[in-house]
Structures are given as C-alpha cells and as structure tokens.
Chains A and B, each alone.
Chain A
Amino acid sequence: METYSDVICPFCGCLCDDIEITVENNKVVKTKNSCAISNSKFMKNDWGRIVSSTIDGKHTPYEKAVEEATNILSSARRPLIYGLSKTDNEAIREAVHLAELVGGVIDSTTTVCHGASIIAMQNTGVSTTTMGEVKNRADLIVFWGSNPAEAHPRHFQRYSVTPKGMYTPNGRKGRFIVVVDVRETRSSKMADQFIRINPNSDFDILQALRALVRGQKLSAGEVGGVRIDILEELADRMKKAKVGCVFYGLGLNQSESRHMNVDALYSLVSDLNHYTKFVTEPMRGCFNVTGANMVTTWQTGYPFAVDFSRGYPRYNPGEYTAVDLLARKEVDAALIMGSDPASTFPLAASHYLSKIPVVTLERKETPTSMLSKVVIPVATSGIETGGTAYRMDQVPLKLRKVVDPPKGVFSDAVVLGHIIQRIKALEVDSV
C-alpha cells in the first residue's frame, strides 16, 4: 500500500493540489481532501475502461488501429482535431503538430465553453489575477452566472470564500459575497446577497452598473428585473471594496449576446480599477482547458479554432470552430481526444460526426467512442500519466502519476506521437 500526498486532482479547473491518494495493487483505494467529484474520478478510474483498440467495433491490435487512424487522417481533405481539454500539455503539443501536418483544423472544448470569454478578452483585455491574491486580499466576491458549490466544489474553501489569507485573517467573516444569477442555486444560498436577474439581461445590468460606477444617475426604476437602488448599492459596494473579484461562469457568456456580456463585465472591472483594485476570473470547467488555450496560443498565436489548411495558422471563431465546421459539413474526418462531443454538441453537428470517419482516443465508452470508426484506449491523464496542466488562473502544475495504466495502453501524447511518426513516414515514402 502506498500513499501519495499533494496530488493534483485532474477533474475541474481548480486543480486542487492537496489530494492524498492511497493505492493498493495498482488501484486507488482511498482519497483524502477530495470533493465528491474528485473522489469519484480517482476511485472509479478503472471502471468500464476500454482496454483494447477497435476498428468498426471489432478488437484489433494497437498497431493496426494506429495504421487505420493514419490512413483516415492523411487521406482526409480537411480533418478536424477536437477536444484537448481533459489531457495534458504534452499531448496537446502533439495534437497541434498533427493538425499542422495533415493541414486540418484544431479546436478545443473552449469553443462550446469560455470561447466567448476569450473573444471578449481580445476585444477589451481583462484585469485578472492568480487565486492566491483573492485569498489574501479580496473582501468583495461576486459570483456571476456561476455555481461553484456544484461545479467547482472546493473553490469556496480553497480560494474565494472561506480561506484566511495575509490580509483576510477573518476568512468568511471578512468577505462580502454576492451571487448574481437567474435562479437560486446552492451557491446563492450561502451568499450575503443574492441578486436575481431576468434571463438574458446580463448585458443591460452590467452596462447600468458601469454607468453607476461612473457616478451617473439612471432614470430607469429597474434594469433586468433588479431595482435600481439595489444596483446603486452594488456599484457603491464595488467601488468601496479594498479588493474585489468577479468569478463568472457560463451563465454569463452562454446567455443572449454571449461575448458582449463578458465584454461588458471586463469593461466594468477595468473601470473599477480607477477607484480601487478589481479583478475577474472565468470559472473554467475541464481541468486543462486553460492549458489547451495556452499551448495552441504559444505554438500558433491563437487560443482555439485554428485552421492549417493553407499551411499556416488561421483563426476565426464561427468559421473554424468545431460545431460550425460539422454543422456545415466542412470537414471529412475527425480525431477526438479528451472530450465527448457526441453528447455535448448540437444535434446537427453530432449527427454529421456520425457520418464521417472518426478516430477517438478515450478511456471509457462514450457516445463519441460508439460512433467512431477507430477507438484507441489511452491512459488517464493525471492519474496514470504525469504531464502538465494549467489551473483556471493559468498557474501551471505538474500532474502526478499514481497508478499504472492498463497493460498495452499508452498516454495521449504517445499515441499521437505514433500517428505523427506514421504520417511522416508516409510523406517520405511518397517523395
């Protein structure tokens, strides 16, 4: 029996790095400090694993599956490489290389998640921080369209609500917590103030707050279902905070007007820096979606939706984003890793995915793996392999390997490396 301490949890964007894992006979038998989701991911790591490669659902040797994957990708005119968010940077690097090599398109789950936030950042910039600053200094926390109590269970405890830091010795008591949402949630129940807003009114409210922060008087009696005096009070509270932080989620950027909502939030937060210190942070979901953005950015200049069909990287959300490419039937093959688009994409997109040859790198059976022509099993990133992941605030951490992968199963990076080798060999042969 072995115990590993300070293990990093590879589930959500919080990347809690204080997990204790006990392993017996290459199986996780106990976890400590983990939330319910994390515990389940570690304990059930070996449940329902795919252990053998398949082509058209039939078991096949690994080499054959790699060969078939190579054929599919190299003969496609415009393959899509999609996912990336639940694997490590080492694999993402290889995925970008592969996309470049085959002249395809690479996109990550950002596209259906915080892609809108990145577009807003490209419009206005953003004032942000690493989480330790929030823990040490922030006395006003706003959760906007996010519900960490259910989606990021230890966020409150580790970073935003209860921790005691250098200038926040009273922890929870020293902080004022506001939740802005369209409905009550488990997060709103613990807040000092819950502001219920009408669905799709975020933009109006944020712009009203901007005006109020600048000291303008508004003639409207209410905005987006919120009485103006409540907004006035919030604006005032924001200006008077020593350090404030807005953690926002998909409730903001997936409601009507999408990136414009985030644009308004970022502008509000920037404006507030004329009065005090204010920062904001998106609540990223998958454990390494931030890493996917980082790696594609340093290798290609762009965070997601990158097209290599001209031999150089091009970026255009809406044109090179996975959902749009599939719905418009512009790609003719796909490699999926670290994601399950068949269950998360709109019907038109996932329907078309079932019509083209798909190679999937997966650990467990998913709707995507079921519609794939080739399935190659991979190791669990962060449990069965090490590698690097970036927390939602871009802090890079080295994941820890605690158990061995099933026999004959490689990491995402190794499998992609094998495919790249084969494709390069094909190119040499054809010269």
Chain B
Amino acid sequence: MANGQVFDGRGGSRRDFLRAAAGAAGALLVGAEALRAAPAPDPWGEELPERVREVLRARFGERTVRPGRVQLDVPENAPDGRSVPVFVETSLPLVSTDYVKAIHVVVDHNPDIYLAGFHFSAALGAASVDTRIKMRRTSYVRAIAETSRGELWGAATKVFVTLNGCG
C-alpha cells in the first residue's frame, strides 16, 4: 500500500497502516540523522579568528589548545554585556608536581581579547574561578587551563549579547 492512501478499514488492514506509518516515521528519523551529521562548528578550528590565534600565539607560542578537561559555565544569552557571570573549573589533576598553573579567559570580539589570567599555585588545592566580565557583542567566551607541565586545555561557549558593555 502506498503512502497517502485513505485507510477506510476496508481496502487496507491495520497491519498495512502500521507498516506505512512506521515507514514515514523512519523517513523522518533519517532526516533528523542527516541534520545531526552536519559537523558542528569547531570553536578551536575554523571558528577561531586570526586575531585570536595571534593573541594565543603571543602568549602560548606554538602550544595548541586541546578541547576538554575544562568546564566553562556562562549563560548562552547575556542581555547586559556589562556583567556576564563566568565560572570556570577543571577536572585536571592537582598535585604539587602537576597542577593548574593558570586559567585564562579570552573573548573573541572584545577590545581586549585576552581578558584575564588567573595564576594559581599548587597551594590552592583546587582550580576554579568565578567572576563577572564585560562583553562588547555576541562572541565566543574561551577558558583555557594551563598546567604546570605546559599543557593547554580549553572550553568555548558562544554568548549572545544584547547590550554592549565595553564601549
């Protein structure tokens, strides 16, 4: 039985109807699968503007930022760019020989791309920071954790900003 035919209880059986309905649902699922398969933009790849790359190169040299091991908690929508809460924590080891030396905060479209660096010692016993930042417009907010061994781990979230908080 073809899709679209009227199920009047005489021409087609209940089984036929169910089979057709399952086929239609399957087609929908395949469509959703195709959408999901489209690659998400990579914040550390093609979504990393050249001027941000320069800022990172000036600070970290040729070391590259690997995504992961850092949790960045920022709102996706920030109506007021004058005060955007930012919370960064890490799941990196914290022992005296291998600890988080710094958490760096970078905002792509701010006048100062490198917004802040929080330098820690092993004496802190944990690595997290909670503060409030200004944002000029919709942009990625990036948190980069630098370990005492020189590894760089990052997380990035796009924050939609309505009110310019930077001037």
A and B co-occur in one complex: no
